[in-house]
Amino acid sequence: MIAYMSSLQTVFSALKAAQARLALENRAAKDRALAAAAAAIDRDRAAILAANARDVAKARSGGMKESLLDRLLLDGERIDGIIEGIGVVIAQEDPVGTVRAGWTLPNGLLIEQVVAPLGVAAIIYESRPNVTADCAALAYKAGCPILLRGSSSALESNRALVKAITAGIAEGGGIADAVALADSGSRDEVSEILAARGWIDVVLPRGGKELIRRVVEHARIPVIETGEGNCHIYVDGSADIDRAVEIIANAKLQKPGACNAVETLLVRRDALAALMPPLAARFAGRAELRCDEAARAAICAAGSGNTALPAGLVLRDADEADWTSEFLDYILAVKTVDTCEEAIRHINRYGTKHSEAILTNDLQAAEQFRARVDAACVYVNASTRFTDGGEFGFGAELGISTQKFHARGPMGLEALTTIKYLISGSGQIRS
C-alpha cells in the first residue's frame, strides 16, 4: 500500500482506480464519452460563461492587466473553439495499443513494442480555462486519468467546465472519475500534488517562470517541463520589409499574453533604415518599443526634418533586463545585430527554447538559422503565434514542452503515452 496521505487522498485514490478501468476502454468507448462531454459543455455554456464572468470581474478588480485578462476570458466563440477542439481529438487515431515495431528472435520469441498510456497525470496551470477542457480531452483519449489544478483566478470557470465534462462523460457511458479538479483554492494543493509519489505518474506545469521553477525544483514525481516564451524574430537584410512588419505585428499584437508571442526583435543593421520607420508607425498607440541606440536612431532619423514621429509612439531605451524578459504585454524589445551568427548567439543565450523565427529571402541564412537555433519550434518567414496544438492539427494541447526528453513542442496525444514490450513465446527458457 502506498503510504502517502494528503487532503487530496480521496481524489488520488479515485484517479488510480479509474486508471485500471480506463485501460480497458477501446477507442469507440472513449470517443463516445468525449462526444458527450462536448455536448454537455455546449448545453451548459450559459452557466460556464456566467462563472467565467465572475472570475474576470474579480481579476479585473484585483488589477490584473488586460493582456492577462484576455487569457482568462471565455465567450461564445471560445466555447465553440473548445467544443471544436474536442471534436478534433475524437477524430484522431487512438495511439494506445499501436504496435510501433515487432520482430522475432532466433529462439522464436516474438517481441512487440506497443504504445501504452503514461499513467495518472496532473497539470498545474494558470488562467486559461480552455486548458481545462483541452487537457481533459487529450488525457481521456490517451487513457490517462488527469488531475487538473488551475489558478485561483479561474476557479469558478474551471469548476463549471469540469462539472459539465464529468457529467457528459458519465452520460456517454464513460468513466467520470478519470477527470478531477483540485478546487479548494489553497496553494497547499500544489505541494500535495508534487509529493504524490505512487499516485501521480507525471506532472505538467503550464504557466509563468515562477510556477515552472517551483514544480521542477520541488516535484518528487516525473515532470514534463513546459517553458516560458521569451521568443525572438530575427529580420535579415534580405527580408521583404512589408511582409516583415505584418509578421512582427501579428506575433506581438494579436495576443501578447500568449507564450508564443514575440518578445524581442533582432534586426540586422542593414535592414534598420527600411524596417524601423514602418514598424514604428504600425506599433504607434498599440505597443511600446524598447530599442537599442541604433534601432532608436533609425526611427528618429525618419522623424527628423519635416516628418514627425508617429502619434502615440512610445519609445524607451532597452537595457539588459529587456533581453531576458517575457513581457506578456504590449512591449517589444528591439536589438541591432550585424550578422545572422550574432542573432543566433543572442537567441541561444537569452531564449527559452520555445519558438524562434527568421524573416529572410536568403536560403543560406534560413538553413543556418534552422540548424543552429536551439528551440522546440523554428520558423522561416512566419509568425511565432502558430506554436499551438490546435494550429498544429492536434485539436488541443497539454502545453508546449521546451525540454528535450520524451516530448518537445506542442504536446498532443502522443505526449501522454509511453511504450511497453509484449513478448510472446512457446515455452522458451534462457540457458
- pLDDT above 90 covers a percentage of the chain that reads 84
Q: Give the helix ranges, DSSP H, for 268-393.
A: 272-283, 293-302, 320-323, 340-350, 363-372
* Phi, psi of 295, deg, nearest 5: -65, -40
- Check: CB of residue 225 under 8 Å from CB of residue 212: yes
- For 384-404, give one letter per residue: b (16+ CB within 10 A) or e: bbbbbbbeeebbbbbbbbbee
Q: H-helix or E-strand containing 418?
A: strand 417-424
pLDDT at residue 394 in the model: 84
Domains of the chain: 9-226 (3.40.605.10), 231-386 (3.40.309.10)
Rounded to 5 degrees, what angle do the CA atoms 98, 99, 104 make?
A: 165
- pLDDT above 70 covers a percentage of the chain that reads 97
pLDDT-derived band at 303 (thresholds 50, 70, 90) equals low
pLDDT-derived band at 186 (thresholds 50, 70, 90) equals confident
Tens digit of pLDDT for each residue in 324-359?
999 999 999 999 999 999 999 999 999 999 999 999
Tens digit of pLDDT for each residue in 313-325?
999 999 999 999 9
pLDDT-derived band at 53 (thresholds 50, 70, 90) equals very high
Low-confidence winner among 115-129, 230-244, 391-405 (lowest mean pLDDT): 391-405
Assign 125 to helix, strand or coil: strand
Dihedral sign of CA atoms 225, 74, 384, 323 in order: negative
- Is the model more confident about 205 or about 186? 205
> In this structure, how many other beta carbons lie within 10 angstroms of the beta carbon of residue 91?
9
d(CA 208, CA 218) in angstroms, rounded, equals 16
- Is the model more confident about 58 or about 407? 58
pLDDT-derived band at 78 (thresholds 50, 70, 90) equals very high
* Pair type for strands 146-149 and 231-235: unpaired
pLDDT at residue 306 in the model: 56
Query: How high does pLDDT run on average in the chain?
Result: 93
The mean per-residue pLDDT over the stretch 99-114 comes to: 97
Tens digit of pLDDT for each residue in 208-225?
888 888 999 999 999 998
> pTM of the prediction?
0.84
Tens digit of pLDDT for each residue in 230-269?
999 999 999 999 999 999 999 999 999 889 999 999 999 9
- Is the model more confident about 166 or about 405? 166
pLDDT of 305 higher than 70: no
DSSP state of 106: T
pLDDT at residue 1 in the model: 39
pLDDT of 66 higher than 90: no
